[in-house]
Each structure stands twice: as C-alpha cells, then as structure tokens.
Amino acid sequence: MRPFEWRPVGEYDPKRLAEARNQLLSATQWLARVERSYAAPNGEVSLRWLDERNVISTHDLGSELGLELSVDDLKMQFTEAGAPSDHEIDVEERSPAHVEAWLLIELLHRGVDRERFSKDLPYDSVGLLNGDGVEFSPAEYERELRALDALMRNAAQAIRAAAPGEQGDALRVSPRDLRVQAAADGRVLGFSPGDDMIPEPFFFVAAAGEPNGAASPLAVLRASEIQESDAADRVTAFLRSGGQPTTH
C-alpha cells in the first residue's frame, strides 16, 4: 500500500530544468534576505516548506508576518497570521531590482523597519539573477517549474512518511541550494532539485550536524532511477532505511 499518492512529474529537458531551478533559486533569495534581516539576524538562514499551501516560506518575521513563494509560478506574497495577503507580486518580466522595490514598499505598508533589511547573505550567490539588467521569466519555464513543484511536493510527503513526527510543523528548505530536508535518528533525509555535483534532481540521506545543512550525501537516489508506478514506496523505503539497499 502506498504511503501517499505520488504526484506525476512529467517529462522535462534537463538543461531547461536547470535553468528553471536557477530562476526558482534566484527568487528564493529574497525570502532568505527577509528571513535573515528580521527572523534570524544572527543565526543560520533557513526557510520552511508549508504543506497546507505547498510553498516555500520564511519563519515568523514578527507580529505573525511571513513571506512565501509558489514554486510553480514564482509568485510571492506576504502572509498575515498565516493567511495570504491580497498584494502578491507576479515576477514575470520583473527584474530582481523590481522585486526589491516591491518588498521595501510592502514592508513599509506593514510598519516594518526597512532600515533592518539587508541583501547580504552568508553564502555565495554568484550566478543568480541580480540587478536591473535581467528579468524573471517563469512563463517560459512553465513545464519545468511544474516539474520542480511536483518533485518538491512529493519529497515533502516522502520525508514525512519516512520519519513521521520528527519534523515538527514544517520541513526545512535551504535557500543556498533548495534542499528540502528534515533530521531524523541522527541523519538528514532530503531532496535536492540538483546541484553542481549531481545536476539532476535526487533524494538523499546525509549525516546530521553539518554547518549550513550542506552535508555531502551518504546515499543518493536519482529521480531518473525512479518509476512513477512505485515511486512513493521506493522513495519512502530509501529514506526510511537510511539509504541502505531495500527489497521492492
């Protein structure tokens, strides 16, 4: 019996998926900057995956204020007491500089001290969209962003199925690489949409306690190795077993 219903991912071009991932990662940095400025000024920058709306979100920024990002279309909006606000931004044909201006205006409208906002990040963001000379284009990567959205939703369910009760109210999302992960029994169970070492999406088990959550995987299950007919069972078994061989 399947622990959950695997969301179909569909076919995608690996090169275009990498380009879409860069768009998503670039948009996520604005959540990371807000998180570091208001929720964790002296600590590690970490975001959350919220199951109820399947979005990447900051922690509480104060007065039950948050900022969230939809993976499939890169739309961004503030939340108040957990409820989405009416003033979202569609980043289509918007530059990072435009997103920054929107953020500052929205912070001002909510009475948040804009002087505390900083674009500094505790990791290298070279290669991501920046400034006023480039624009986001989620419509051009609609299929690939939907694939990433499906994979991240599946990953969240698989992690919860593999380690029920271990993650609290939300899974962690690392803004430096978009890993969705949770600690369980001395290990980190997670999913990556791809990185410099392994370009394609993959599930992983890693050692816990590494700085910035950037531990090298101890075991990897690539998305290309999974058949969607038994994906839910296989991924959950892989994560639950700590990456050890399992019988299917």
DSSP, collapsed to helix, strand or coil, labels residue 137 as: coil
* pLDDT (average), residues 19-36: 98
pLDDT tens-digit map of 48-77: 999 989 999 999 999 999 999 999 999 999
Which of 38 and 40 is assigned the larger pLDDT? 38
pLDDT-derived band of residue 214, with 50, 70 and 90 as boundaries? low
pLDDT-derived band of residue 248, with 50, 70 and 90 as boundaries? very low
* pLDDT (average), residues 146-157: 97
pLDDT-derived band of residue 1, with 50, 70 and 90 as boundaries? very low
* pLDDT (average), residues 192-208: 94
CB 130 within 8 A of CB 6: no
How high is the mean pLDDT of the chain?
91
Sheet holding 180-184, edge to edge: 83-84, 76-80, 65-70, 55-57, 47-50, 171-173, 180-184, 187-192, 202-207, 217-222
DSSP H helical ranges for 95-200: 96-109, 142-162
pTM of the prediction? 0.93
pLDDT at 189: 95
Output the six-digit token pair for 248: 């299917």
pLDDT of 191 over the 70 cut: yes
* pLDDT (average), residues 86-102: 96
pLDDT tens-digit map of 173-189: 999 999 999 988 889 99
AA letter at 205? V
